Chain A
Amino acid sequence: MIKSELVQKIADHYPELYQRDAENVVNAILDEIADALTRGDRVEIRGFGAFSVKKRDARVGRNPRTGAHVPVDEKVVPVFRAGKEMRERINRGS
């Protein structure tokens, strides 16, 4: 499923909602999560999972082809951990 299909499913459930509004709903949710992570906040959605950020220290990397040393800057990466209910559902396949 891609974003436009998700938007369509939302619109199908709410005939009174414009397609554009359904799209805004999905974008508002994803933006809110992304903004929280940018601030360094955690996003916890019970039953679904939790998003957080982890800091990766600067390191010296290697170009695998040439073997040359390349400095890799410190960075922040988003991480997601599925919630208990979600893990169980995925495993059951229902």
Chain B
Amino acid sequence: MSQRTITRAELGEAVYQRIGLSRTESAALVELVLKEISDCLAGGETVKLSSFGSFVVREKGARVGRNPKTGIEVPIDPRRVMVFKPSNILKARINREGEDA
């Protein structure tokens, strides 16, 4: 079983198949959903999508890093990062729990 990569195109196709809208509209809706999620996160707000998971923005403090090649210490400024916390439902689904028990 080879690994495939799903992109925007497949997400648009999924919307197209499920809702009776044109392919163009479906693609635009996928873009809008991604934009709304991104805008919210850019503002530092958590996005909770029940049964899927949460996207959380975390504040990281300043620390001293090191260039692994040269061993030279470099200061790393405080920054904000985004993390994804998968829901228990998503984790169970991916492990196909309840399917082959």
- Residue B76 lies at the interface, judged by CB distance under 8 Å to chain A: no
Interchain CB contact under 8 A, B91 and A77: yes
Number of contact residues on A: which range applies? 35 or more
Q: Which of A25, A86, A94 contacts B29 (CB 8 A)?
A: A25
Instruction: Tell whether A45 is near chain B: CB-to-CB under 8 Å.
Output: yes
Q: How far is the CB of A9 from chain B (nearest CB, A)?
A: 5
Decide if A80 touches B95 in the complex (CB within 8 Å): no
Interface of B is mostly: mixed
C-alpha gap A31/B11 in the complex (Å) = 9
B79 within 8 A of A: yes
B82 touches A87 (CB 8 A): yes
A51 to B91 Cα, complex, angstroms: 13
Considering the chains assembled together, what is the distance between the CA atoms of A57 and B82 in angstroms?
26
Interface contact tally, CB-CB below 8 A: 149
**Beta-carbon contact of B33 and A25 below 8 Å:** yes
A residues 48-75 near B (Cβ < 8 Å) are 48-49, 51, 53, 75
Interface residues of B in 15-52 (CB under 8 A from A): 15, 17-19, 21, 26, 29-30, 32-34, 36-38, 40-52
Question: Chain A's nearest CB lies how many Å from the CB of B54?
Answer: 9
| A82→B81 contact, CB < 8 A | yes
Once bound together, how far apart are the Cα atoms of A2 and B26, in whole Å? 22
A42 and B4 form a contact (CB under 8 A): yes
Q: Is the CB of B52 within 8 A of A30?
A: yes
- Hey, which chain A residues are within 8 Å of B7, CB to CB? 43-46
Question: Does B5 have its Cβ within 8 Å of any Cβ on chain A?
Answer: yes
Bound complex: CA of A10 vs CA of B40, how far in Å?
Answer: 13
Q: How far is the CA of A40 from the CA of B47 in the complex (A)?
A: 25
User: Given A45-B34, A90-B41, A90-B42, do A25 and B19 touch, yes or no (CB 8 Å)?
Assistant: yes
> A interface vs B, CB < 8 Å?
1-3, 6, 9-10, 13-14, 21, 24-26, 28-34, 36-49, 51, 53, 75-80, 82, 86-87, 89-94
